[in-house]
Amino acid sequence: MTSNQAPARNIAVKICGIGSTRDYDVCRDTGAAFVGMVFYPRSPRHLDLDAARGIADHAEQTHRHDASPARVALTVDMEDDELVGVIEAARPHFIQLHGHETPERASRVRDRFGLPLIRAIRVASAEDLEICEAWEGVAEWLLFDAKGDPGGLPGGTGHVFDWTLLANHAGRTKWMLAGGLSQENVARAIAVTGASAVDVSSGVETAPGKKDADRIRNFVSKAQLG
């Protein structure tokens, strides 16, 4: 690092909605902490179980100690029998709950499958953050995402919410920022919110569900260096 370069920040980056082993390799090589695998048929990033199994096999075969991202299975109001299939195929390190799951339902999922949870909280106003307390001790992470259109996709829509709502967030559960992030705005988003982790999906794509290697690299760089 030269004298005029800012030091890297310890920002954990999650690249959500990967669709191939190539996407996985780019995320790993750029230092992403998490990769998200989407299991929601309405999403353009939805993975079938064979594709998820292929990515998991590849990840385990090319594992690099302390350098391989954690796999996250993103689910939406999924029943236990479906979760069994997803977990067997993807072998995730985390389950992300992105639907209307209650803390009680989430606790049952965590206890049955023995995996830590990431809980998405959709935010449009300060009142939307009041639910966070109910998730303490249940979710390992909260993921603050923007509310989209009613009846639309639960995430990956490119919507942004008012980041200043998180400027003084004092919850005890670790959290990451999502919602319309891109290489152009992620440094500012981190500065406003104080986030230590960020999640991106559509912001590193050339089309819905089509990840772009250069955009992933640039996003991670901007998140880490500003």
Q: Report the catalytic residues.
A: 16, 145
Structure letter (DSSP) for residue 41: T
Alpha helices, DSSP H, located in 7-79: 21-30, 49-61
Beta strands in the chain (DSSP E): 12-16, 34-39, 70-75, 94-97, 117-123, 141-146, 174-177, 197-200, 205-207, 210-211
Query: Rounded to an integer, what distance in angstroms lies between the CA atom of residue 106 and that of residue 150?
Result: 23
Closest C-alpha among 118, 77, 95 to residue 86: 95
Give the angle subtended at the CA of 218 by the CAs of 181 and 31, to the nearest 5°: 95
Structure-token pair, residue 203: 């912001």
Longest dimension (CA), the chain: 55
